[in-house]
Amino acid sequence: MSKNKMNSQNSSMLQKLSSQTIRLRVVQPPINIKRLLIEYIDKYKGQPGIICVRSTEEGNTLEAYLRARHINVAVSYAPGQMKDQIFITTNLADFRKCPVNVRFMIHISSPKSLGEYLLDIGSVKNDLPCEVILYFKQANTKKQWWTINKRIDIDNEEKIRQYNGLQSVAQYANTSRCLRKEIARYLGGDCHPCHQCSNCLYKGELDDITLESQTLIALVKLAHGQYNKINIAQIVTGSRNQRILENGAKIYEQYGALQHYSQEKVLNLIDYLIATDYLKIRQGRYLFITTAGLEVLENKIAVKRKKFSEYPLRFTSYDKELFEKLRLKRLELAKETKVAPFIVFTNTSLNDMVRVLPQTSAEFLTVEGVGKYRLEHYGDAMMAIIKDYLNEKNLKAVC
Ligand SMILES: [Zn+2]
């Protein structure tokens, strides 16, 4: 991670993060981003939150998704007017000029650098506790990486600056250290562990990843800095990429050694090894081994990391009565068709039905986990239950 000299702006950011009201979180797949958003909106029902998206198109899709679930969302912002809404934005410039009190801020796409992320955090007032969540998806970062790589309108120096930016976020997302300490390190300072970020609060088991780490570190050592991290991930997963094969990837005994892993998972592992100082990166791209990395190869250090799927999420339905009616219908359908209830619909689908309150086939298809088969086989039965319930309660689905 690049070390910036600690200036007054950096130390005031660190002071803000030390206020104990900013709670840093990192979430990664397999947790589904839409379910994560619903979880946070539910948790802070009736209180404001910000969702940061990368493009207007992404924002529009998300807005439609949340509105279909009867969630009050806004896309234009007038300072001081934000009360109980969920605000979707591509640009926090207005918020930075006039910071707001929100209960959560979620970036559903990675910022270009940790520095940019910190500017965004600066747009949150710290009067009330606020959860600041980064949803990190390695596949998106890989795409951003290739976009920079292909650009011909910027010079090498600018490319390195942009690679370093992406790398700073990837390391923040994959470190096991206290997230506040990680930011302090990035800013060129230090601080005590915060005891309230997602890493400090992690109580789950740790995966022993020593063997996988040794495979990666050994390959980096042999390659003498000629490969970037995507190349390394391609080699160990046994990629058939022509350029990699032409460059002699198969001569390494590590070729295909981690073929049961996805490239994204290996890239996360590499970012973890960089964040933990077992590997280092130069010129924004090329991987090298460190002294600590050598100790891993010599079996002097065991490498362990947390499991991302362990992040505690509680999905609750806001209308238990309707959920129960749908659950009983599901049981009936399961008995009729002689399959297990979760084959008919998962609990996630039932919860989402309670939110969407579908009344037409098109609406039913927007429910999580519903495709043509489930619509055709079970759609009418479930929609009849919802319709009766709405009539009984004198409710109308608001779209
Ligand atoms: Zn912490």
Q: What is the DSSP string of 333-377?
A: HHHHHTS-HHHH--HHHHHHHHHH---SHHHHTTSTT--HHHIII
The Cα–Cα gap between 133 and 121 comes to 10
Task: Identify the residue whose tokens are 């030390």.
Answer: 18
Residue 309 C-alpha to ligand 1 middle, in angstroms?
19
Query: Which regions of the chain carry the CATH code 1.10.10.10?
Result: 206-310
Nearest to 121 by CA among 186, 200, 71: 186
Separation of 289 CA from ligand 1 center, angstroms?
27
Q: Ligand 1 mean position to 282 CA, how many Å?
A: 28
Phi and psi dihedrals of 14, rounded to 5? -65, -35
Q: Which CATH superfamily hosts domain 8-186?
A: P-loop containing nucleotide triphosphate hydrolases (3.40.50.300)
Distance of CA 171 to the CA centre of its chain: 13
d(CA 58, CA 121): 21
User: What's the CATH number of domain 320-392, 3.40.50.150, 3.50.50.60, 1.10.3720.10, 1.10.150.80?
Assistant: 1.10.150.80
- Distance between CA 351 and CA 355 in Å, rounded? 7
Residue with tokens 């500017």: 119
Distance CA 66, CA 352 (A): 11
- For residue 195, the CA-to-ligand 1 centroid distance in Å is 5
Cα–ligand 1 centroid distance for 201 (angstroms): 7
The residue type found at 63 is: E
Distance 370 CA to ligand 1 centre (A): 38
Helix (H, G, I), strand (E, B) or coil at 152: coil
Task: Give me ligand 1 centre to Cα 48, in Å.
Answer: 24
Delimit the CATH 3.40.50.300 region(s) of the chain. Answer: 8-186
- Enumerate the CATH 1.10.150.80 domain ranges in the chain, comma separated: 320-392
Query: pLDDT tens string for the chain (399 positions)?
Result: 444 556 777 888 888 787 778 899 999 887 888 888 988 988 888 888 999 998 899 999 999 999 888 888 887 666 556 666 889 998 888 788 877 888 999 999 999 999 999 999 988 887 888 999 999 999 999 999 999 999 999 999 999 999 999 999 999 999 999 999 999 999 988 888 988 899 988 888 889 999 999 999 999 999 988 899 999 999 999 999 999 899 889 999 999 999 999 999 999 999 999 999 999 999 888 999 999 999 999 999 999 998 766 444 444 445 788 999 999 999 999 999 999 999 999 988 998 888 888 888 988 988 888 999 999 999 999 999 999 988 887 665 433
Select from 1.10.287.110, 1.10.10.10, 3.30.70.260, 2.60.120.10 the CATH code of 206-310. 1.10.10.10
Distance 182 CA to ligand 1 centre (A): 9
Distance 134 CA to ligand 1 centre (A): 14
- DSSP symbol at 4: P
List for the chain the helix, strand, coil content (%; round to 5): 50, 10, 40
Q: How far is the CA of 108 from the centre of ligand 1 (A)?
A: 21
Please, how many CA atoms are within 13 Å of residue 198, restricted to the half-sphere of its CB?
22
CA of 14 to the centre of ligand 1 (A): 13
Distance 25 CA to ligand 1 centre (A): 9
> Which residues neighbour ligand 1 (ion) by CB within 5 Å?
178, 193-194, 197, 200
User: What Å distances lie between residue 309 and 29, 153, 204, CA to CA?
Assistant: 7, 40, 10
Contact 97, 78 (CB under 8 A): no
Q: Name the phi and psi angles at 69, rounded to 5.
A: -105, 20
What is the per-residue DSSP string for 158-208?
HHHHHHHHHHHHHHHHH--S-HHHHHHHHTT------S-STTTT--S-EEE
Q: Give start and end residues of each alpha helix (H) in 224-299.
A: 229-236, 242-246, 263-275, 291-297
| Residue with the two structure tokens 């086989």 | 377
